[in-house]
């Protein structure tokens, strides 16, 4: 099944639905709540340094690119 070229497909660099993002520890709780509200699933959390987190995300309700 072909997909429309105009269909929104999340990518690693999508600002609205990033696949990965970095977050300060002081903002982690609020960021997680926002991501949950928007439908993201946090696949992994890696601490970077003393006060930063790298979050890997999935957006299950969005169309996936077909290659």
Please state the pTM of the whole predicted model: 0.68
* pLDDT band for position 67 (cuts 50, 70, 90): low
Look up residue 67 and give its two tokens: 């290659």
Look up residue 28 and give its two tokens: 């982690």
Helical residues (DSSP H) of 1-67, grouped into ranges: 28-37
The DSSP secondary-structure symbol of 30 reads H
pLDDT 10s digits, 9-53: 555 556 778 889 999 999 999 999 999 999 999 999 999 888 999
């Amino acid at each position: 099944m072909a997909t429309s070229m105009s269909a929104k497909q999340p990518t690693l660099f999508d600002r609205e639905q990033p696949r990965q993002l970095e977050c300060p520890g002081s903002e982690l709780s609020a960021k997680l709540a926002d991501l949950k509200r928007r439908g993201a699933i946090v696949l992994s959390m890696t601490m970077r340094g003393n006060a930063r987190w790298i979050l890997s995300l999935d957006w299950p309700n969005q169309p996936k690119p077909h290659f």
